[in-house]
Structure 1
Amino acid sequence: MFGFESALVLSAVMGTLLLAGFVKGISGMGMQVVAMGVLSVVMPPAQAAAILVVPSTVTNLWQLFTGPAFGALVRRLWAMMVAICVGTWLGFGALAGSNAKLAAFILGAVLVLYALLGLVKVRFRVPPEKEWWLSPVIGFVTGLLTGATGVFAIPAVPYLNALGLGKDELVQSLGLSFTISTLALSLALFIQGAFGMQVAGASLLALLPAMLGMLAGEWMRVRVSEQGFRQLFLVGLLLLGAYTVIKNLPGHP
């Protein structure tokens, strides 16, 4: 059902995963955002999300277990992680079936929001006494958007940035959030029959360019201005999101 017999589609998938892995390697995030944004132009979002299961899982686990504070972060963020799962499963309906056009529209809007927040450098701070109720709320909204779009950056990334974590803890907390989001979305895709053996094989194949891109990005990180690259990345993401929104407006062919 994914048309992998088409050399054009296969080339698009491999090229996109190479680019998305490079972005993650150089900036520490953004692989899912880039891959979903580009692939949704050539295929329904549910198909794109299914292809990304293996690359996302492996790269996010890598990021999660290379940090110093796994146990402490789990104890601190467990309610957010549970809420991500619940929200993902409730929001998944928009990603599948006849809602594909709506899902693509929402995805474009999320890409635009993500890019704008990064470009204007919005900074939030969350007082520790508010975490107990705000964490599950943020997790639930993140889950809804994950289920609807396949992208799990908003509002989790700005929220985790607002907790005042150290650099290594922040990277690891992002890995934790991304891993839980990926696993929750993967389960929903599997239950809906969107992640069968054929798709699993394609997803495994997509791991190779994702890892090559990630390694290349890590190599490039020390040789270029990360801030300059990130600005260029966000502008490109803004344009891609705007195009996706316009393409999927109600009444647009």
Structure 2
Amino acid sequence: MGGGPGYDPEGISLGGISRAQRRAEAIAAGQRVVAEAVATENLAERMLLMVAAVGQALEDLSLTPTVVGGLVVEYFTRAYATSDVDVLLPTTDEVKDRLHQLGFVQPEEGQRVWRHPAADIEWEMPGSDLSPEDQAVAVELAGGARLLMLRREDMLVHRIDEFVGGGHREVFEQVLALAHGHDVDWHRVRERAAQSNLHDAVDVVLDWTRRVIDDGEPMPETWALHDLADDLGRQLMRRNAESARGRRS
């Protein structure tokens, strides 16, 4: 049976390896990392290895899951513990099939949370890609496995935004933990915060980080945190209004 230009009767890809073979090799590589993850006692390390496993299983598709959410906070601060994994990844049929091949159980109709019984983790895919304003960094785990993760500075800005919107104590604690450390790129924090009109909040976070973590002051009371968030919210609304007027002029 013949074919025109580009006809590929056996699915041969570059290098003489069939697409089916590349798929099988990617899944097998992912399954090996899953086995390593299942044998890992520490939950955070186990979750990170599962992300690396999915990345391996999708390598032939040029898709890489990006860690977002609480696991980013835990990785960079060790001051917060999360119980699930949030990653950005397209939810195509092929991606779902690869997750099944790795032992994940798909959520029931209307549910978003996948489970991996052997690794005892929960897994959510809240979106496909990072927003244009955010950046990911490559992370290498102790055993050499690699994955992508939302950078610390961008996670900090997301948590600042969340605190301004709700005034919750747990979120404020995460903000301070992310802000504390010599490796925080404050130029990036301010640049990213400016894109969301959160300039004022960054200065407040710096002040409270110094007072609570460096100087040992107690955390503000719950009512004070709500007042602080309300005040920052009003400043954010004012800056948003100024930006809107600037776009119209």
Q: Which interval holds the TM-score relative to the shorter structure?
A: under 0.3
| Structure (1/2) with the larger strand percentage | 2
TM-score (norm 2): 0.27
| Bigger relative contact order (CA 8 A; separation at least 6) | 1
